Chains A and B, each alone.
Chain A
Amino acid sequence: MRDNSSMNLYLYQLKSLILKEYKEAFRDKRALLVALMMALLAPVAIVLMSKIMIEKLVDEPPVYVNFNGAEYAPKLIKYFADNNLLNLVDAPVDEKLIWQQRNIVMDIPQDYETDMAQGKPIKLYLRADFTDKAVGPPVRRINNAVRSYSLSIGYKRLLLRGVDVRLLNPLTLVEQDTAKPDATFILISMMLGIYLMLAAFMSGLSVAIDSSAGERERNVLEMLLCQPVSTLQIVLAKLIGASTISIIGVVLVLVLTSLSVGLVDLTKIGATFTLDIMTSLTLLLLLLPICFFASACQLFVAFQTKSFKEAQSTVSILIGIPAFIPFVVSMMDDRPQWLNWLPVAGQSMIIENIFKGVDVNWLAFLATSVVTIAITVTLVVVLAKKLRSEKVVMALS
């Protein structure tokens, strides 16, 4: 019974401590906004970057062709235009000169229409300097356009004569690309991975510093240390306060990114990845221990610095961890087994796999989470012990 009531007191004190950390954190609106800025910017950056890359990779720039006799085949010209193959006369001024120099000419015969109506073969002539490298891709596109237009007319003719067009395709080649996803896509997903790590590390940063080094500088820590609460309760409350903010940061990145990824069509660059609810939840679950780990590291360092300023600069160095480790890991060809277990490294490898569409290795997931939590617990216990030391007390004055 007595144990029960002392346990209740312990929890009641902890609740009061946590409540106060929340009040302070959420009332510091400006610091909170700065802390979450990162999370708010992430989706914008990702969408912009993807858009630029997709445009570069997928978009077919207009090709201007000098059509002779365009008036004889309006439907063909329309088909060309749909494929961004345009008439040179319509070219904008700044591009006209280039296309005049490339001088791609297509001759459409005068009797195009009558020959078409009678089903006679029609010859279109394409003239250009085929050795010119800049001419190669446009010519290829014109070639493809003519072939597919021709085929579609051919199919329609056969259909009208009651022939199954499938007879024309006895063999079909299905291409399955086993190549790794597009390098640019990897870059985007890597960026999102690093962003998630950074959000976990950075969102709670200011709260962690403020509630440790900041409180000491404002002379409120001594009063707190004199109260009938254990240093473990104090550390736990501050840890929960700071990591809540960092969890909010991660959730924001996930929600905003999944909303904004819908705005760009990543499949155009061969991405199989969508940030659906299941993926988001998996990522969140994976990053939860990291949020606590990050806050524990920051509190651990900040509590041992001599001033708020020193805390700020020292803790900022910690930001290097989430940015640097995933980068190094992604560069490694031979990844040693133990990397799977390390905090940050383990998680970033799993994130990489999730983005590649590889099934999650739940054992590795569990292992890295357990190791991360174990290190966090160790940091908390050691910090609680350190707060009882005289060195910290002497630094109060």
Chain B
Amino acid sequence: MIEVNNLHKYFHDKKGKNTVKALDGLSFTAKDGEITGILGPNGAGKTTCLRTLYGLLSADEGFVTIDGITVTEKPLAARAKLGIFPDKFGLYERLTAYEQIDYFASLHGLSGKTKKDAIAQVIDDLDLGKLAHRKTVGFSQGQRMKVTLAQALVHQPQNFVLDEPTRGLDVMSTRILREHLAKFKAKGHCILFSSHVMQEVAALCDRVIIVANGKLAAQGTPQELCDLAGEANLEDAFVKLIGTDEGVAA
């Protein structure tokens, strides 16, 4: 379970003259056994929020707990509970896909047969078998995504955070990802993911959190949000709830 409590975050430029308010009292909860979607226009503070959640940034006010562990107090213990698919991801191009997954499994403390089985499982789940022993240097965007996903999932994290995971994935891969997320949900994992694709959010998420200007603009099931805005589809509801159509096209 991921709990975000009253996060405030300001960025100052060098002279301290201009201050950007990235997060302005954001609070929400992503529960176990649910898929929670974060929606928000560009610059709404999604990535800042997620980075605070990973413990890369520290909030000026407020805190994040992951399975009850406060991230700022015990960042390593909190991260051990997380599987992360970051906003910008890259691969170690001189390693094979298998070695990358192995690397991240080891960093999460898996070893020996447990590690081997976990890697075999995730490779099988994501249909990476053919790619596993190739160096990742020539991989397509979709293949890179899959390896990154495998890296994030190999240790079977209780909480799974994905920052726009379906960018560049083909239909088949998107389906595999969706199935995978559904399976995780059924097992009682907590999934938090940000996306720009409304249909996906509508189809997949149990709860949607709409962030605008660093604040929680609205939350609820997709249907609740539509009802709240008095619109028929989520996209229109989203635009109405954030009060502008800026950034939707991005």
A residues at B contact (CB < 8 Å): 9, 12-13, 15-17, 20, 23-24, 27-28, 215, 218-220, 222-223, 225-230, 390, 393-394, 396-397
Chain A residues contacting B80 (CB-CB under 8 Å) are 228
Known interface pairs A12-B111, A13-B107, A393-B57; A226-B79 also in contact (CB < 8 Å): yes
Distance in angstroms between the alpha carbons of A215 and B94 in the assembled complex: 12
Tell me if B197 counts as interface (CB < 8 A to partner A).
Answer: no
Tell me if B54 counts as interface (CB < 8 A to partner A).
Answer: yes
Q: Which of B47, B54, B99 contacts A226 (CB 8 A)?
A: B54
Tell me if B77 counts as interface (CB < 8 A to partner A).
Answer: yes
Known interface pairs A16-B103, A390-B57; A28-B94 also in contact (CB < 8 Å): yes
Chain B residues contacting A17 (CB-CB under 8 Å) are 107
Main secondary structure of the interface of A (DSSP, over half): helix
- Chain A's closest residue to B54 (CB) is A226
Q: Which of B51, B57, B76, B93 contacts A229 (CB 8 A)?
A: B76
**13 A-B residue pairs with CB within 8 Å:** A9-B109, A12-B109, A16-B103, A23-B95, A24-B94, A222-B56, A222-B88, A223-B89, A227-B79, A228-B76, A228-B77, A228-B80, A229-B107
Distance in angstroms between the alpha carbons of A240 and B9 in the assembled complex: 36
* Interchain CB contact under 8 A, A227 and B109: no
Chain A residues contacting B88 (CB-CB under 8 Å) are 219, 222, 396-397
Chain A nearest CB from B14 CB (Å) reads 10
B residues at A contact (CB < 8 Å): 11, 47, 51, 54-58, 76-77, 79-80, 82, 84, 86-95, 99, 103-104, 106-109, 111, 148, 151
- Chain B's closest residue to A24 (CB) is B94
* Interchain CB contact under 8 A, B107 and A223: no
* Interchain CB contact under 8 A, B103 and A20: yes
Q: Which of A12, A24, A226 contacts B95 (CB 8 A)?
A: A24
* Interchain CB contact under 8 A, A20 and B76: no
Chain B residues contacting A397 (CB-CB under 8 Å) are 47, 87-88
Chain B residues contacting A227 (CB-CB under 8 Å) are 79, 104, 107-108
* Interchain CB contact under 8 A, B107 and A16: yes
Distance in angstroms between the alpha carbons of A397 and B95 in the assembled complex: 23
Q: Which of A222, A223, A225 contacts B151 (CB 8 A)?
A: A223
Chain A residues contacting B99 (CB-CB under 8 Å) are 20, 23
Q: Which of B11, B56, B90, B104 contacts A219 (CB 8 A)?
A: B90
Known interface pairs A16-B103, A23-B95, A390-B58; A226-B90 also in contact (CB < 8 Å): no
Chain A residues contacting B82 (CB-CB under 8 Å) are 226
Chain B residues contacting A27 (CB-CB under 8 Å) are 94-95
Chain A residues contacting B58 (CB-CB under 8 Å) are 390
Chain B nearest CB from A335 CB (Å) reads 42
* Interchain CB contact under 8 A, A13 and B89: no
* Interchain CB contact under 8 A, B107 and A220: no
- Chain A's closest residue to B47 (CB) is A397
* Interchain CB contact under 8 A, B109 and A13: yes
* Interchain CB contact under 8 A, A220 and B77: no
- Chain B's closest residue to A222 (CB) is B86
Chain A nearest CB from B101 CB (Å) reads 12
The 7 lowest CB-CB distance pairs between A and B, nearest first, are A219-B90, A16-B106, A228-B80, A228-B79, A218-B90, A27-B94, A220-B90
Chain A residues contacting B79 (CB-CB under 8 Å) are 226-228
Q: Which of B56, B89, B93, B107 contacts A393 (CB 8 A)?
A: B56
Distance in angstroms between the alpha carbons of A227 and B89 in the assembled complex: 13
- Chain A's closest residue to B90 (CB) is A219
* Interchain CB contact under 8 A, B90 and A223: yes
Distance in angstroms between the alpha carbons of A12 and B111 in the assembled complex: 9
Distance in angstroms between the alpha carbons of A380 and B88 in the assembled complex: 27
- Chain A's closest residue to B99 (CB) is A23
Q: Which of A220, A226, A229, A230 contacts B91 (CB 8 A)?
A: A220
Chain A nearest CB from B105 CB (Å) reads 9
